[in-house]
Amino acid sequence: MNWNNNTQQPWGPAPQKPSGAAPGLPAWARKRVVVPAAVGLFVAGAVAGSAGGSSTENVNSATPAPVATVTVTASPKTGAPADAEPPAPKGTTRPADDKAEAEVSVPDFVGMGLQSAQDAAQAKGFYTLTSHDSAGRNRMQVFDRNWKVCSQNVAAGKSVATTTELDFGAVKTEESCPAKDRKPPKVVGGRMPDLAGKSVNTARDALDSGTSLTVKDAAEDRMVLLESNWKVCTQVPAAGAKLNGQPVEITAVKFEESCP
Q: Considering the chain, what percentage of its residues have pLDDT values greater than 90?
A: 61
CA 45 to chain centre: 71
Q: Which of 53-62, 96-105, 152-161 has the highest mean pLDDT?
A: 152-161
Residue-level pLDDT at 102 = 83
The verdict on domain 103-172 having CATH code 3.30.10.20 is yes
**Is residue 128 within 8 Å of residue 164, measured between CB atoms?**
yes
User: pLDDT by residue (tens digit) across 181-210?
Assistant: 999 999 999 999 999 999 999 999 999 999
* CA 56/CA 50 separation, integer angstroms: 9
Q: Domain residue spans in the chain? A: 103-172, 200-254
Cβ–Cβ < 8 Å for 159, 104: yes
Classified as helix, coil or strand, 45 is helix
Residue 174 predicted with pLDDT over 80: yes
DSSP 8-state symbol, 107: P
- Give pTM, 2 decimals: 0.59
